[in-house]
Structure 1
Amino acid sequence: MTTTTSPVTQLTLRLQTISKEHPFLFFTGAIILSIIALFTFVAEYFKPLGKRKLKDGKPPRLPPGPSGLPIFGSLIDVKEGIEDEEHKKLKALRQYGEMATLHLGQKTFIFLNSSRVAAEIITKRGSYTNERSSYPVSSGIISHNHRRSVLMHQDAWAEPRRIMHPLISGSYLKTYGTWQELESTQLLAEYIFHPKLWYRHHFRYANSVIHRIALGERLAKSTKELVDLQNCVTYFVSSVMTSMVDWFPDLEKLLPWGFVQPWRLSWGWLDRWNYNLYKEWWDPVKAKIDNGTAPPSWVRDVLLHPDTKYTGDDDDAMYAAMQLVEAGSDTTRLVLNVVFMAALEHPTAFAKAREEVDRVCGKDENARLPTLADLEGLRYICAMAKEVMRWRPIFGVPPDHTATKDFDFEGYHFPAGTGFVLNIPALCEEVKEPDSFVPERWLDGHETNIAHGLWLFGGGRRICVGYRLAQNSLFLLLSRLVQSFDLEAAGPYNSRHLHFHATDEPFPVNMKVRSHHYEKLILSEAEKHGVLEDAKLERDKL
Structure 2
Amino acid sequence: MIFIINHDFLTLVAIAEYLKPVGRRRAKNGRKPCLPPGPSGLPILGNLLELDHARHDPQHKFLLDLRRYGEMATMHLGSKTWVFLNSNRVVSEIIAKRGSVTNTRSPMPISSGIVSRDGRSLVLPQEHWLERRRVMHSLLSGSALRQYGEWQELESTQMMAEYVFKPGQWYRHHYRYANSVIHRIVLGERLVKSTRELEELQNIVTIFVGSIGSSVIDWFPDLAKLPRFLQFWRRPWAALGEWNYNVYRSWWLPVKKKVEEGTAPPSFARDVLLHEDTKFVGSDQDAMYLAMQIIEAGSDTTREALNIMVMAALEYPEAFSKARAEVDRVCGVAENARLPVLSDMDNLGYICAMSKEILRWRPIFVVTPDHTSTRDIEFEGYYFPAGTGFVINEIAVGQECEHPEMFYPERWLDGHETDIVKGLWQFGGGRRICVGYRLAQRSLFLNIARLVQCVDFKPNGPYNSKILNLESTNEPFPVKASIRSKAYENLILTEAEKAGVLEDAKLKRETLSS
**What TM-score, normalized by structure 2, do the two folds share?**
0.96
Q: Which residue of 2 aligns with 1:536?
A: 506
Q: 1:197 aligns with which of 149, 169, 175?
A: 169
Does the Cα contact within 8 Å between 1:393 and 1:456 map onto a contact in 2? Answer: yes
1:166 offset after TM fit, Å? Answer: 1.5
Residues in 2 aligned to 1:317 and 1:420: alpha-carbon distance in whole angstroms: 29
Q: Which residue of 1 aligns with 2:188?
A: 216
Q: Which residue of 2 aligns with 1:17?
A: none
1:215 offset after TM fit, Å? Answer: 0.7
**AA in 2 matched with 1:208:** S
Q: 1:103 aligns with which of 69, 76, 80?
A: 76
Gaps of 5+ in 2: none
Q: Which residue of 2 aligns with 1:164?
A: 136
Most deviating of 495-504 and 449-458: 495-504
Most deviating of 412-421 and 442-451: 442-451
Aligned alpha-carbon RMSD (Å): 1.8
Tell me whether 1:356 sits opposite 2:329 in the alignment. no
Q: 1:379 aligns with which of 349, 354, 361?
A: 349
Q: Secondary structure at the match of 2:81?
A: strand
Q: Which residue of 1 aligns with 2:126?
A: 154
Does the Cα contact within 8 Å between 1:82 and 1:397 map onto a contact in 2? Answer: no
Q: Which residue of 2 aligns with 1:21?
A: none
Does the Cα contact within 8 Å between 1:64 and 1:100 map onto a contact in 2? Answer: yes
1:57-77: CA deviation from partner (whole Å, max 9, x where unpaired):
553100000011111111121
Residues in 1 aligned to 2:265 and 2:123: alpha-carbon distance in whole angstroms: 31
Give aligned pairs, total: 512
1:103 offset after TM fit, Å? Answer: 0.3
**AA in 1 matched with 2:105:** R
Residues in 1 aligned to 2:331 and 2:243: alpha-carbon distance in whole angstroms: 47
Residues in 1 aligned to 2:56 and 2:473: alpha-carbon distance in whole angstroms: 17
Change (3 A) 1:80 1:36: farther
**AA in 2 matched with 1:84:** D
1:510-529: CA deviation from partner (whole Å, max 9, x where unpaired):
12111111111000000111
1:395 offset after TM fit, Å? Answer: 2.2
1:501 offset after TM fit, Å? Answer: 3.8
Q: Which residue of 2 aligns with 1:42?
A: 15
Tell me whether 1:93 sits opposite 2:66 in the alignment. yes
Residues in 1 aligned to 2:491 and 2:236: alpha-carbon distance in whole angstroms: 54
Q: Which residue of 2 aligns with 1:263?
A: 233
Tell me whether 1:414 sits opposite 2:414 in the alignment. no
**AA in 1 matched with 2:150:** T
Residues in 2 aligned to 1:531 and 1:262: alpha-carbon distance in whole angstroms: 51
| Aligned ranges 1:121-132 → 2 under 5 Å | 121-132=94-105
Q: 1:82 aligns with which of 42, 55, 58?
A: 55
| Aligned ranges 1:44-63 → 2 under 5 Å | 44-54=17-27, 59-63=32-36
Residues in 1 aligned to 2:323 and 2:365: alpha-carbon distance in whole angstroms: 26
Change (3 A) 1:502 1:533: closer
Q: Which residue of 2 aligns with 1:311?
A: 281
1:41 offset after TM fit, Å? Answer: 4.1
Q: Which residue of 2 aligns with 1:237?
A: 209
Residues in 2 aligned to 1:363 and 1:499: alpha-carbon distance in whole angstroms: 32
1:182 offset after TM fit, Å? Answer: 0.6
**AA in 2 matched with 1:151:** V
1:314-350: CA deviation from partner (whole Å, max 9, x where unpaired):
1111111001011111111111110100001111111
Most deviating of 381-390 and 491-500: 491-500
Change (3 A) 1:291 1:502: closer
Residues in 2 aligned to 1:34 and 1:201: alpha-carbon distance in whole angstroms: 64
Q: Which residue of 1 aligns with 2:450?
A: 480
Q: Which residue of 2 aligns with 1:25?
A: none
Tell me whether 1:367 sits opposite 2:340 in the alignment. no
Most deviating of 300-309 and 216-225: 300-309
| Aligned ranges 1:304-453 → 2 under 5 Å | 304-453=274-423
**AA in 1 matched with 2:18:** Y
**AA in 2 matched with 1:102:** M
Q: Which residue of 1 aligns with 2:111?
A: 138
Q: Secondary structure at the match of 1:375?
A: helix
Change (3 A) 1:528 1:492: same
Residues in 1 aligned to 2:264 and 2:27: alpha-carbon distance in whole angstroms: 56
1:40 offset after TM fit, Å? Answer: 4.1
1:264 offset after TM fit, Å? Answer: 2.5
Does the Cα contact within 8 Å between 2:248 and 2:289 map onto a contact in 1? Answer: yes
1:208 offset after TM fit, Å? Answer: 1.0
Q: Which residue of 1 aligns with 2:459?
A: 489
1:87-130: CA deviation from partner (whole Å, max 9, x where unpaired):
22111111111000000100000000001000000010011111
**AA in 1 matched with 2:169:** L
Gaps of 5+ in 1: 1-7, 13-29
Q: Which residue of 2 aligns with 1:18?
A: none
**AA in 1 matched with 2:57:** D
Q: 1:515 aligns with which of 478, 485, 507?
A: 485
Residues in 1 aligned to 2:503 and 2:471: alpha-carbon distance in whole angstroms: 30
1:295 offset after TM fit, Å? Answer: 1.3
**What TM-score, normalized by structure 1, do the two folds share?**
0.91
Residues in 2 aligned to 1:195 and 1:266: alpha-carbon distance in whole angstroms: 39
Q: 1:457 aligns with which of 420, 427, 430?
A: 427
1:381 offset after TM fit, Å? Answer: 0.3
Residues in 2 aligned to 1:368 and 1:450: alpha-carbon distance in whole angstroms: 25
**AA in 2 matched with 1:389:** L
1:16-45: CA deviation from partner (whole Å, max 9, x where unpaired):
xxxxxxxxxxxxxx99x9987665443222
**AA in 1 matched with 2:463:** Y
Identity, % of aligned positions: 62
Change (3 A) 1:502 1:320: closer
Q: Secondary structure at the match of 2:196?
A: helix
1:459-485: CA deviation from partner (whole Å, max 9, x where unpaired):
000001111111111111110011111
